[in-house]
Amino acid sequence: MSARFAGRAALVTGAASGIGAEIVRGLVAEGARVLALDVQAAALDALARESGCDMSRCDVTDETAVRGAIACAERAFGRLDIVVNAAGIVRNDDVADIDDAVWSRLLDVNLSGAMRVCRAALPGMRRRRAGAVVNIASVAAFNASPGMASYAASKAGLVALTRALAQRYGVDGIRANCLCPGWVRTPMSEQEMREAAQARGTQLEAEFAQLAARIALGRIARPDEMARCALFLASDDASFVTGAVLVADGGARTPASARAN
């Protein structure tokens, strides 16, 4: 195992499961000290015991909690080199029937949550004139399929926020990049497919098999595969990469077609 992140300090939101948890494991394995944030306290505690990361329950929609978490990381580690925004939720809706509360909630978590974390972390990074931000968006940002209106809008906004960060703060030595996964076998995607299976009278694995058939590599990604993409963007291996959007969808050329109607 390499030590790309030896001496580095990182903060990861949405860390309790899925891609976020794998990113935490990868960072710790490669030498970083990590503060893992999530609202799922029990899962977060289990991750901390397993990986050796620090952890704190934090709701990214709570400005006070976010600022407290950043301050805690900087006190504990003496610095904050890497921020990964992996917190996210999904709901099914279309434009004609969007519920205002659902729209607001998805944007508050998926987009504004990342903004709050970046806003709180930037002053320290600017003082040190170094830092790496990795935002986890989705291919839905570019291929908004039926039933994904609010989710897709939030992820498209996250891509735009990432590019704005990269352009404005590159002069301060801060890089900002965005990872856009396709279908990944996570608790979130399993819930989506479980709902689809229930609606169509099929089985969960049948729904995943149908998706896999539409992907060039013929399978659904594992969370650790997405984590390795994120770690690349956070590392010095990507030292001249900023404002980039890395699409990791297994060759699903039109990801919208992979989501059942």
> Is residue 176 domain-resident?
yes
**Residue 52, pLDDT score:** 97
Helix (H, G, I), strand (E, B) or coil at 82: strand
**Residue 253, pLDDT score:** 60
Mean model confidence pLDDT for the chain: 93
Measure the CA–CA gap between 163 and 228, rounded to whole angstroms. Answer: 21
- For residues 96 and 209, membership in a common domain is answered with no
198/236: higher pLDDT: 236
Tell me the helix, strand and coil percentages in the chain, rounded to 5: 55, 15, 30
- For residues 214 and 103, membership in a common domain is answered with no
Per-residue confidence band for 255, with pLDDT thresholds at 50, 70 and 90: very low
Helix (H, G, I), strand (E, B) or coil at 112: helix
- For residues 131 and 67, membership in a common domain is answered with yes
> Is residue 164 domain-resident?
yes
**Residue 223, pLDDT score:** 96
190/37: higher pLDDT: 37
Measure the CA–CA gap between 145 and 148, rounded to whole angstroms. Answer: 6
Q: What tokens were used for 73?
A: 């990381």
Per-residue confidence band for 195, with pLDDT thresholds at 50, 70 and 90: confident
Measure the CA–CA gap between 96 and 23, rounded to whole angstroms. Answer: 36
**Residue 1, pLDDT score:** 63
Cβ contacts of residue 218 below 8 Å, gap of 6+? 212
Q: What would the mean pLDDT of 177-186 be, rounded to a whole number?
A: 94
Q: What would the mean pLDDT of 83-102 be, rounded to a whole number?
A: 96
Tell me how long the chain is: 261
Which active-site residues does the annotation give? 151
Lowest-confidence pick of 58-62, 100-104, 143-147, 214-218: 143-147
CATH of the domain at 86: 3.40.50.720
> Is residue 29 domain-resident?
yes
Per-residue confidence band for 2, with pLDDT thresholds at 50, 70 and 90: confident
State the greatest distance between any 2 C-alpha atoms of the chain, in Å, as a whole number. 56
Domain count, the chain: 2
Question: What's the start-to-end Cα distance of the chain, in Å?
Answer: 42
Contact between 91 and 152 under an 8 Å Cβ cutoff? The reply is no
**Residue 257, pLDDT score:** 46
Q: Which ranges of 13-55 does DSSP label H, i.e. alpha helix?
A: 18-29, 41-51
Cβ contacts of residue 65 below 8 Å, gap of 6+? 58, 59
Cβ contacts of residue 124 below 8 Å, gap of 6+? 70, 74, 79, 80, 131
**Residue 191, pLDDT score:** 82
Structural domain range at position 140: 9-183+222-247
- For residues 106 and 196, membership in a common domain is answered with no
Distances (CA, A) of 244 to 16, 23, 33, 160: 26, 19, 25, 11
Tell me the HSE value of 68 on the side-chain side, using a 13 A CA sphere.
Answer: 12
